[in-house]
Amino acid sequence: MDNLCHTLVGAAMAEAGLKRRSQWGSIALMVAANLPDLDVLVFATDTPPVSFRRGWTHGVLAQALLPWAMAGIFILARRRKRHGEHACGPPFRPLWLVVLG
């Protein structure tokens, strides 16, 4: 339920006007709201989940690095997009994707 709530908060922030800052602004807000829960991937390893939950992904280091990583992934995804497509709406602003993250 937490991730649903996180996603809805990101969507509400987008509808409050932040989605106009950059193309893919809405997606960036919803993804960024869930990004700290990346620590759930520890279940795929041999590390005990209790020792990792709410670790570095919820700390200051993550606050500094995860928005940049998310924006980098969006930049790579945009480059892979077909050249013939033209999007309407705000222009693509990578620095704003970092800020929204």
Q: Taking a C-beta distance cutoff of 8 angstroms, is the pair 37, 47 a contact? A: no
If DSSP codes are grouped into helix, strand and coil, which group holds residue 84? coil
pTM: 0.76
Break the chain into its structural domains and give their ranges.
Answer: 2-100
pLDDT tens-place string over residues 2-27:
889 888 988 898 889 888 888 888 88
pLDDT tens-place string over residues 31-87:
888 888 777 776 777 777 666 666 677 778 888 898 999 899 888 988 876 555 566
Q: Taking a C-beta distance cutoff of 8 angstroms, is the pair 6, 34 a contact? A: yes
Of 43, 45, 33, the closest CA to residue 4 belongs to 33
